[in-house]
Amino acid sequence: MTGVSRMWWMFAIRGVAAILFGLAALIWPITAILVLVNLFGAYMLVDGIFAVAAALTGRSGHKAWWATLIEGLVGIGLGIFSFIAPGVVVTSLIWVMAAWAIVTGIFEIIAAIRLRETITNEWMLGLGGVLSIIFGILLAIQPGVGALTILWLIGGYAIVFGIMFIVLAFRLRGMGSSAQTPTPSAGMRSA
């Protein structure tokens, strides 16, 4: 039995966990959003605390210790803010995504115009840019709907990912079982 096939059950557990997360994201989207924001907040808070500690303990060793201190304080502030106002954090993330989509779309249209003499079907790049701009505008107009849609995509992805891991787990289990089964001629000695 190979090392990976012996751990088939770990892949199965990961698959089940992914499916459960995906279902939870689809069934309780508001709760899932809050959990993700709280995890982000916890990470920022812990990262900020360690950055402040590193800055204060290493301030005699390097000249730019204050930059790490500021980074840590900002992280702590963002972490606390994520717990106090999770809705603002989600909306801010959607606004960043909307701005990114609009800016990307503009540059795709510019690239399509510049490439029209070099390549054929440049209109597809331009159309992609227009669609990106429309997506960005829709996110900006309805950030709550955008957050929900993104969460549904994450939930759907998690379910598909989980199913794939479970299928992989059972294939690995089958490989391990077939590797352990002795063949009839394996135990016989030639005379």
Q: pLDDT digit string (tens) for 111-154?
A: 888 877 776 777 888 898 899 899 889 888 888 787 788 888 88
pTM of the shown model: 0.58
Angle made by CA atoms 81, 139, 153, in degrees to the nearest 5:
85
Q: Are 59 and 17 in contact (CB under 8 A)?
A: no
Q: How confident is the model at residue 4 (pLDDT cuts 50, 70, 90)?
A: low
72: tokens are 């840590």
Q: What are 41-98's pLDDT values in tens digits? A: 899 999 999 999 988 887 776 677 888 889 999 999 999 999 999 888 888 888 888 8
In degrees, rounded to 5, the angle at the alpha carbon of residue 127 between the alpha carbons of residues 121 and 133 is: 155
